[in-house]
Amino acid sequence: MNDIAQQLLTLLDVERLEVDLFRGLGSGGETTTRIFGGQVIAQSLAAAYRTVPEDRLCHSLHAYFIRPGDPSIPVIYQVDNARDGGSFTTRRVVAIQHGKQIFNLAASFHVQEDGWDFQHDMPDVPGPEGIPSRAELRDKYIDQVPEKFRAEFLRVRPVEIREIDPPEPFAPKPSSDVNYMWMRTDAAAGQSPQLQHILLAYTSDMNLLGSSLRPHGITWFTGAAMTASLDHAMWFHAPLQLDDWHLYAMDAPFTGGGRGFNRGKVFSRDGRLVASVAQEGLIRPRRK
């Protein structure tokens, strides 16, 4: 395993302080100015998993972002053992910094059961081969990035992303809200089903809110909008192995009132629907 992948696993490995109290690193995620939303989702899920029997896997989680996370200090995660039932287990997690909640999450865990099977088909899109990586795209635009931001812009990330039809970052044009990307991470190789969920929770916040920006010809680099994730929900449907390519098929059926609603489906390379995601985000116009 390479050093970048190991850094991601270290970032998501919360430390137990007490029976239901955990601590996670603040720095080291996708961004340096505030804690990346996927990081606090994943660390919260990791804390919850540390209190759940191993035969129960998360089937759904629902979360709210309350305050921006401060990457200069750790995050404290307090787990509430809401219920341990015959087949379902429920946990609530509160993330705390500076004595205040920055995030809270409710998650449900289920024993394995048999039942009817049905799923939507995976979209017919080009495979990841031949699509430029995130690093290759950023190299292409480095001359348009101010000097003081270039090192952070080019920093190697542990999740490999290949976007299908990405917008021009600095001169975007209005386009469809339909938003596809392939993703994988070496950190997932040989890991448990629980850690596959934690890693997917981390990656599920990548590019999702960008679906709401596409119809308006906006990207994070244009400075036209103040953006932030407001809430996040996930449903885990089937086993996954995130060191192999997965397609993240996203769209944004509604934007209004300074908010954008985004949906995502995660498919394995062989077409299995392994997870669904929904998120509302702030997309407030910046006043000039």
**Residues designated catalytic:** 205, 229, 279
Please tell me the distance from the alpha carbon of residue 159 to that of residue 47, in angstroms, as a whole number: 21
> Amino acid letter at 12?
L
End-to-end CA distance of the chain: give it in Å, rounded. 47
Q: Residue 52 in 3-state DSSP?
A: coil
Tracing tokens 């939303």 back to the chain, one arrives at 37
Please tell me the distance from the alpha carbon of residue 168 to that of residue 33, in angstroms, as a whole number: 23
The pair of structure tokens assigned to 171 is: 């001169």
Please tell me the distance from the alpha carbon of residue 128 to that of residue 39, in angstroms, as a whole number: 25
Q: What angle do CA 163, 169, 173 make, to 5 degrees?
A: 95
Q: Count CB neighbours of 283 within 10 A.
A: 23
Q: Residue 68 in 3-state DSSP?
A: coil
Cβ atoms of residues 104 and 92 within 8 Å: yes
Please tell me the distance from the alpha carbon of residue 217 to that of residue 169, in angstroms, as a whole number: 10
Q: Count CB neighbours of 260 within 10 A.
A: 28
Beta pairing, strands 259-268 & 273-285: antiparallel
> Amino acid letter at 165?
D
Q: Count CB neighbours of 29 within 10 A.
A: 26
